[in-house]
Amino acid sequence: MSLDDLYRQVILDHAQHPRARGVLSGDDVRAIDLKNPTCGDHITLYVRIQDGKVQDIRFTGEGCSISQASASMMADMLKGQNIEAAERVKDIFLKMIQGHDLVESEEETLGDAVALKGVAQFPARIKCATLAWKALEQGITDHSS
């Protein structure tokens, strides 16, 4: 099996069996609703940040395999992380999606999300891959305000 095939399998697994799909409720939950008007992808990200940590994170929405897999990977990876670590992962992910090379430790930090590296070659799909991450960025900013 080639690395491309493995990456495809990881993306399809997350898209077909998303981790952290669902709704969070409560006064301490931020819901960020973002849409990609060019393709119709839609994500609502629910984030509970307490004591400087992403205590819980869930998402709902519809869209292509890339947007759904990316949201699943992000939520799975960031639950329980402190805000600084979550921001670092987000920054590494966005750097990768923009086509920048990563060092091995950065790729390891991304876990399954490194499977989306090839999206950088398809500019029309970058918004799909980054939709959930942009929602996270907004949720962290809203929390810090």
Average pLDDT over the chain reads: 93
CA atoms within 13 A on the CB side of 74: 33
Has residue 80 got a pLDDT over 90? Answer: yes
Residue 41 is part of a domain; what is its CATH number?
3.90.1010.10
Containing domain of residue 120, as a range? 3-144
Dihedral-angle region of residue 123 (phi above 0 means left; psi in -120 to 50 means alpha; beta otherwise): alpha
pLDDT tens readout for residues 46-71: 999 999 999 999 999 999 999 999 99
Query: Which pTM does this prediction carry?
Result: 0.93
DSSP bridge partners of 27: none
- The total number of structural domains in the chain stands at 1
Token pair belonging to 127: 């918004």
Contact 61, 71 (CB under 8 A): yes
Contact 54, 79 (CB under 8 A): yes
**130-to-9, 22, 26, 51, 107 alpha-carbon distances in Å:** 19, 19, 26, 26, 17
